[in-house]
Amino acid sequence: MAKFFGVVLDETRLKEIKGTPLEEKVEPIFGGALKRLVIEVPDELGQKVIDQFTKARFDARGFIEETPAAFKRLVFKKIVEKKSLGPEVIEAAIEEIPSIKDQIEKEDRELPVPDIDISDILELQKNPVQKPA
């Protein structure tokens, strides 16, 4: 049975794949609140990913979970480079794990702050009482 690797997409990532064939493969999750791309991974390659990280595991649906955020960023980078959702993306990411070892070690101590734009929320906090429209 094949395994799967999901990559959650924020607005920045969606812009990076806009206009490419990858855009058609975006699927909504959590009632459309989030979007993701899914890579189908052969069993052996999935096990190879799991073996790289102490916390990684397969969930009940066959998705590879609990991989470091640095690895997920690397997988997305490879998706964009290769313009593919094939297993070659995961293979290329595994080959480059040594280049992100420092980031992975930092994550073991403390998760990085997400790089997201919250200016609209900060603006709302200036006037916490909202008037009906």
Per-residue pLDDT of the chain (133 residues; tens, 9 = 90+): 789 999 999 889 999 999 999 999 999 998 888 899 999 999 999 999 999 999 999 999 999 999 999 999 999 999 999 999 999 999 999 999 999 999 988 887 876 666 777 777 788 778 767 666 6
- Is the separation of the CB atoms in 70 and 109 below 8 Å? no
- Is the separation of the CB atoms in 130 and 94 below 8 Å? no
- Is the separation of the CB atoms in 89 and 30 below 8 Å? no
- Residue 5: which of 51, 60, 49, 69 has the closest Cα? 49
What backbone phi and psi angles, to 5 degrees, belong to 20?
-105, 165
For the chain, the domains span 3-126
pTM of this structure: 0.79
